[in-house]
């Protein structure tokens, strides 16, 4: 599957006590070009302490990628982690619609998985995007992500 529209950019948005937050326009624009549904799918990231997110149509790509990995593992004579990967990819996710102003309610399980508190750092990563607690991003081993988080926090006047 070739993706015509990719997630590029970043933004830092506030999260209220009920888990409401605005999805940045750069995210909504891609979702609406790739899908008819004004919704996103949230799940735990495979390796980092953040959420990964995408449009509903991207799930087909993830299924195909999981199958490719399963077949490759079988061809190599490895048991692989197919079932754990499939559960993480499809079972431990939430389908979250957004309203006309682009607001969502972050589901409690996803908020807990991503350790999202009062701020959410959105980071485009091509086919998907990530949602970080910016303070966790500052502690990551990725120098570029740290710099991005620091910039977005300073831009909003939030002390590091």
**pLDDT at position 2, please?**
56
Q: Who's near 81: CB < 8 A, 6+ residues apart?
A: 73
Taking alpha carbons only, the member of 100, 125, 107 closest to residue 47 is 125
66-80 residue pLDDT tens: 898 888 888 888 777
Q: What is the pLDDT of residue 57?
A: 87
Q: What's the pTM value of the predicted model, to 2 decimals?
A: 0.90
The token pair at 151 is: 């910039």
Of residues 24, 2, 33, 16, the one with CA closest to residue 130: 24
Low-confidence ranges of the chain (pLDDT < 50): 1
Q: Are 160 and 138 in contact (CB under 8 A)?
A: yes
What domains does the chain contain, in order, with CATH numbers? 10-56+95-155 (3.40.1550.20)
Largest CA distance in the chain: 54
Residue 44: its pLDDT value, please? 92
pLDDT at 117: 97
At 13, which helix (H) or strand (E)?
strand 10-14
């Amino acid at each position: 599957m070739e993706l015509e529209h990719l997630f590029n950019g970043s933004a830092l948005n506030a999260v209220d006590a009920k888990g409401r937050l605005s999805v940045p326009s750069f995210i909504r624009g891609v979702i609406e070009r790739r899908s008819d549904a004004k919704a996103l799918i949230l799940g735990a990231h495979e390796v980092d302490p953040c959420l990964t997110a995408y449009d509903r149509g991207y799930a087909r790509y993830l299924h195909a990628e999981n199958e490719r990995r399963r077949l490759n593992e079988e061809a190599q004579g490895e048991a692989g982690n197919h079932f754990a990967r499939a559960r993480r990819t499809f079972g431990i996710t939430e389908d979250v619609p957004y309203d006309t102003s682009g607001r969502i309610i972050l589901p409690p399980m996803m908020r807990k998985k991503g350790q999202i508190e009062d701020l959410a750092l959105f980071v485009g990563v091509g086919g998907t995007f990530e949602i970080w607690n910016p303070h966790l991003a500052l502690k990551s081993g990725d120098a570029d992500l740290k710099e991005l988080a620091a910039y977005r926090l300073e831009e909003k006047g939030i002390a590091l």
